[in-house]
Amino acid sequence: MRSASRLSLNLARLVCAAAVAAAAAAPLLLSQNDVVLLTEFMSMLVLAIMWNLLAGYADIVTVGQHAFVGVGAYAFFGFTALAGLDPYLSIPLAGVAALAIAVPAMALVFRLRTAYLAIGTWVVAEVLMLIAGKLDAFGGGSGTSLPISIVLSFGRTRGDRLAVIYWLAFALAATAMLATYVLLRSRIGVGLTAMRDNEEGAAAVGVNITYARILCFLGTAPFLGMAGAIITLQKLRIAPPASFSITDWTVFVIFNVVIGGIGSFEGPIIGTIVYFVLRQYLSGLGPVHLILLGSFSIITILVERRGLWGLVRRMLDDDLLPIAHKPSPAFRASALLLRAARR
């Protein structure tokens, strides 16, 4: 049983590594339509990873995540189309802008907790969207398109452009994953994981809850902002309701994380994959597909609070990507002996 589980775990890891390698080469392998879809997947993945970090670990259940996506989109447009900065440089700058907005937003919403915080984040997002609609240089309430010259700077032909934008999205998703992995493996991550399981217990053994929350809130903002920039590159335009879409950049993201498994590294990845697969096969059904998606997430949470990954994890010895810290091999060996002796 143990060895069978270990074998399937290692097989799964191999499949994942192959999938990442294939994803890196996707524009060379797939049709343009598929590349567009996969770009969208990468942006959604970034959003899911960030929401999971906030809601799943730091207990910041935000429903205003779209605020930073929108700020990123508008900042990207402002930097490159209005200020004339390099389009590539404008992507990380969009992240910086999101961070700059996150600081005052945090000062506001961190006065609230739980459901009040959720509403607070939503209000902040709505306010930012309304402000965006008042900016005439950005097309006001109806938004505006990205100038052709900027679009062309990402590639002369449509194929080249799609490939470049895809690779940007892929790089962002890969960085998001790597950063999350490094964070969760660190000293701070050990505390965050403890917070996920029992917040009062974590505080009682010395985990600085406030610091962890601040770190997560400010750490996720630049990623959300850069995702906003990449989403703008894909849609080729900004508009308040689209760039600040609560449905696309918050609600679906929550569904994905809940389905995949909140509070795990694997959960948001699995959830985003499931979401795209369902959407591909069910979108022909129209709004019914959303009803199915909603029902699916409710059923998942009723069966296993920790989502699909929680369900699978019960049968496995370890995580796909081992984040947990383990004692030294010598300690484990002597512990095994001790255990055998007790039996």
Partner 1 sequence: MKAMLELAAVSRRFGGLTVIDRVDFSIGEGEIVGILGPNGAGKTTLFNMIAGVLSPSSGRILFGERDITGIRAWDRCRLGIGRTYQVPRPFTHMTVFENVLVAATHGAKLSLPRARVEAEAVLERVGLADRAMIPAGRLGLLDMKQLELAKAMAMRPRLLLLDEIAGGLTEAECEVLLGMIGEVHESGVTIVWIEHVIQALRRLVTRLAVLAGGSFIAAGKPYEVLADARVKAAYLGT
Binding site for partner 1 (CB under 8 A): 186-187, 190-191, 193-194, 196-198, 200-210, 263, 306, 324-328, 331-332, 334-336, 338-339, 342
Neighbour-count burial of 319, counting CB atoms closer than 10 A to its CB (0-12 exposed, 13-18 middle, 19+ buried): middle
Q: State in angstroms the smallest separation of the CB of 211 from partner 1.
A: 9
Closest CB 316 distance from partner 1, rounded Å: 12
Q: Which is nearer to partner 1, 156 or 187 (CB)?
A: 187
Nearest-approach distance from CB 277 to partner 1, in angstroms: 27
Residue 204 DSSP SS3: helix
- 51 is written with which tokens? 């929401």
Tokens describing residue 265: 């590294």
Task: Please report how close the Cβ of residue 334 comes to partner 1 at its closest, in angstroms.
Answer: 7
Q: Which residues contact 190 (CB under 8 A, 6 or more apart)?
A: 325
Please state, in angstroms and rounded to a whole number, the distance separating the CA atoms of residues 88 and 192: 33
How far apart are alpha carbons 105 and 66 in whole angstroms? Answer: 13
| Smaller CB separation from partner 1, 87 or 189 | 189
Closer residue to partner 1 (CB): 7 or 333: 333
> What is the nearest approach in angstroms of partner 1 to the Cβ of residue 213?
12
Query: Dihedral of the CA atoms 102, 105, 110, 112 (nearest 10)?
Result: -150
Q: What is the DSSP letter of 237?
A: E
Q: State the nearest-atom distance from the C-beta of 177 to partner 1, in Å.
A: 21
* Residues 6 or more apart in contact with residue 127 via CB below 8 angstroms: none
- Give how far Cα 110 sits from Cα of 219, 312, 321, Å: 15, 35, 32
Spatial separation of the C-alpha atoms in residues 6 and 8, rounded to whole Å: 6
Minimum Å gap between C-beta 276 and partner 1 is 27
> What is the b/e burial string over 86-119, where b = at least 16 CB atoms within 10 angstroms of the residue's CB?
ebeebbbbbbebbbebbeebbeebeeeeeeebbe
Provide the token pair at 202. 């974590």
Amino acid at 338: L
What is the spatial distance between Cα 22 and Cα 132, in angstroms, rounded to a whole number?
38
C-beta of 116: minimal distance to partner 1 in Å? 21
